[in-house]
């Protein structure tokens, strides 16, 4: 019992001494202020600076003493060192979190932490690139990542670095592809220019069949579907300039869809994928041209031709063709043929075409996982007939 009392007394004495010493250290008096400030100054100026020791001394000063506008030492330590040091430390911690998210391919975490980093680094192209790519790794994030892809493109085109990509074209191709993927579900027509831009840069996407299948699907679900609906109101009516104009615009869009599928077939090296593409392409081409004649030649030469942009609407038809001696009528009704000669023919296959299935994957930049290949769906048939 006596031993217990002694131990208790000793413990209490130690606690009392520690509290007394702590209170003494915390006391804001001239002696302590001078000691804290000198410790701060010595370590702040040391080569190399001992920032942690300097920070501890400065923080002791700031937390022990009330802020006084006349205390120049207080003001100097707070504004010139403590605030910047704490911001740097916070940024370093956040930066590590971001690096960890990139390494682990945690795209949602990249977006969350990256947004915090941009508060203090608003023009950090590297962060914008990773955030803009996040949707390619996780499709659920496409909408959130799109604005960052746009900003990254703006910065890179303005001369900012394109790392972690190996070239400017690689970066811009991948970011435009991300925008296309983010746009296509809600606005297929609006996604087409992004797909086209992505394919035109000198990057691995230039020869990726999946991109062209997705471009073809965007044509089918966007312009072709709309123009097919526009043409339906003329079905059963006598041929007129209006029906010819509607048909010309429809066929022009279908030809763009055929062009995209032909590129997907030409670039595909996976047998199953290529067969799926060819099944859709053959049906679409045959409906458009009433024959499959010329399809093989189209595919064989398609990669040597420039990828066409989204077509400009046709607003007027060429003048009535004339016949010259020993010749044949010239011109057509404004429709653009793919691999055929002669006048345009209405396509019976004008609905949205599905993309081809298989094991093709798309390289989309640092950290992004391959996009899944969608299952092909036969295009819906429209009810229009030859005018």
Regarding predicted confidence, which is higher, 214 or 58?
A: 214
Q: Is the pTM of this model over 0.75?
A: no
Assess whether 91 and 216 both reside in one domain: no
Three-state DSSP at 352 gives coil
In this prediction, residue 226 carries a pLDDT of: 96
51-55, 169-173, 229-233, 383-387, range with the lowest pLDDT: 383-387
Mean pLDDT of the chain: 80
Please say if the pLDDT value at position 370 is more than 50.
Answer: no
Question: Of 50, 79, 104, which residue sits at a domain end?
Answer: 104
Assess whether 223 and 338 both reside in one domain: yes
Domain assignment present for 261: yes
What confidence tier does 320 reach under pLDDT thresholds 50, 70, 90? Answer: low
In this prediction, residue 196 carries a pLDDT of: 98
- pLDDT tens digit string along 127-149? 999 999 999 999 999 999 999 99
Assess whether 99 and 212 both reside in one domain: no
Sequence-ordered list of residues with C-beta below 8 angstroms from that of 49, at least 6 positions apart, any chain? 43
Assess whether 380 and 265 both reside in one domain: yes
Assess whether 85 and 213 both reside in one domain: no
Assess whether 361 and 212 both reside in one domain: yes
Nearest to 250 by CA among 336, 379, 353, 156: 336
Q: How far from chain centre, in Å, is Cα 324? A: 54
Assess whether 86 and 219 both reside in one domain: no
What confidence tier does 242 reach under pLDDT thresholds 50, 70, 90? Answer: very high
Range of the domain at 49: 25-104
Domain assignment present for 95: yes
User: Tokens 């799109």 appear where?
Assistant: 146
Assess whether 100 and 212 both reside in one domain: no
Average pLDDT for 88-115: 87
Question: Of 104, 130, 161, which residue sits at a domain end?
Answer: 104
- pLDDT tens digit string along 195-237? 999 999 999 999 999 999 999 999 999 999 999 999 999 988 9
Assess whether 379 and 259 both reside in one domain: yes
Tell me, letter by letter, the H, E, C secondary structure of 227-296. HHHHHHCCCCCCCCHHHHHHHHHHHHHHHHHHHHHHHHHHHCCCHHHHHHHHHHHHHHHHHHHCCCCCHH
Contact of 103 with 335, CB cutoff 8 Å:
no
Domain assignment present for 116: no
In this prediction, residue 46 carries a pLDDT of: 85
In this prediction, residue 55 carries a pLDDT of: 86
Domain assignment present for 259: yes
Percent of the chain clearing pLDDT 70 (strictly above): 74
**The Cα angle at residue 231 between residues 227 and 237, in degrees rounded to 5:** 170
Question: Of 104, 130, 153, which residue sits at a domain end?
Answer: 104
Assess whether 378 and 232 both reside in one domain: yes
- pLDDT tens digit string along 144-203? 999 999 999 999 999 999 999 999 999 999 999 999 999 999 999 999 999 999 999 999
Domain assignment present for 327: no
Percent of the chain clearing pLDDT 90 (strictly above): 60
d(Cα 98, Cα 117) in Å, to the nearest integer?
Answer: 9
In this prediction, residue 94 carries a pLDDT of: 82
Count of domains forming the chain: 2
Conformation bin of residue 63: beta by default, left when phi > 0, alpha when psi is -120 to 50? alpha
Domain assignment present for 349: yes
Contact of 364 with 133, CB cutoff 8 Å:
yes
Regarding predicted confidence, which is higher, 270 or 10?
A: 270
Please say if the pLDDT value at position 12 is more than 60.
Answer: no
Assess whether 231 and 346 both reside in one domain: yes
Domain assignment present for 296: yes
Angle between helix 271-289 and helix 241-267 axes, rounded to 10 deg: 160
Domain assignment present for 356: yes
């Amino acid at each position: 019992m006596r031993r217990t009392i002694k131990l208790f007394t000793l413990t209490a004495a130690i606690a009392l001494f520690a509290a007394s010493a702590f209170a003494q250290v915390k006391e804001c008096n001239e002696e302590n202020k001078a000691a804290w400030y000198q410790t701060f100054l010595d370590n702040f100026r040391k080569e190399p600076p001992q920032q942690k020791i300097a920070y501890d001394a400065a923080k002791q000063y700031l937390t022990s003493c009330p802020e006084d506008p006349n205390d120049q030492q207080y003001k100097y330590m707070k504004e010139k060192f403590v605030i910047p040091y704490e911001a740097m430390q916070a940024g370093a911690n956040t930066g590590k979190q971001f690096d960890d998210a990139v390494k682990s391919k945690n795209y949602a975490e990249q977006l969350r932490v990256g947004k915090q980093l941009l508060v203090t680094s608003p023009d950090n192209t590297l962060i914008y690139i990773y955030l803009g790519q996040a949707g390619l790794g996780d499709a659920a994030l496409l909408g959130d990542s799109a604005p960052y892809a746009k900003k990254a493109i703006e910065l890179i085109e303005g001369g900012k670095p394109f790392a972690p990509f190996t070239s400017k074209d690689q970066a811009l191709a991948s970011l435009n592809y991300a925008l296309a993927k983010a746009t296509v579900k809600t606005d297929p027509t609006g996604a087409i220019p992004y797909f086209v831009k992505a394919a035109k840069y000198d990057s691995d996407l230039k020869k990726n069949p999946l991109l062209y299948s997705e471009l073809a699907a965007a044509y089918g679900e966007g312009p072709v579907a709309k123009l097919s609906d526009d043409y339906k109101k003329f079905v059963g009516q006598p041929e007129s300039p209006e029906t010819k104009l509607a048909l010309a615009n429809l066929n022009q869009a279908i030809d763009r869809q055929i062009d995209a599928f032909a590129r997907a077939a030409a670039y595909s090296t996976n047998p199953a994928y290529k067969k799926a593409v060819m099944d859709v392409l053959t049906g679409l081409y045959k409906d458009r041209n009433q024959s499959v004649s010329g399809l093989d030649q189209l595919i064989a030469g398609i990669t040597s031709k420039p990828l066409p942009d989204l077509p400009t609407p046709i607003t007027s038809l060429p003048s009535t063709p004339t016949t010259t001696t020993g010749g044949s009528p010239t011109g057509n009704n404004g429709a653009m043929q793919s691999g055929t000669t002669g006048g345009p023919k209405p396509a019976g296959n004008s609905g949205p075409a599905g993309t081809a299935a298989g094991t093709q994957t798309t390289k989309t930049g640092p950290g992004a996982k391959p996009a899944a290949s969608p299952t092909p769906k036969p295009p819906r048939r429209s009810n229009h007939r030859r005018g």
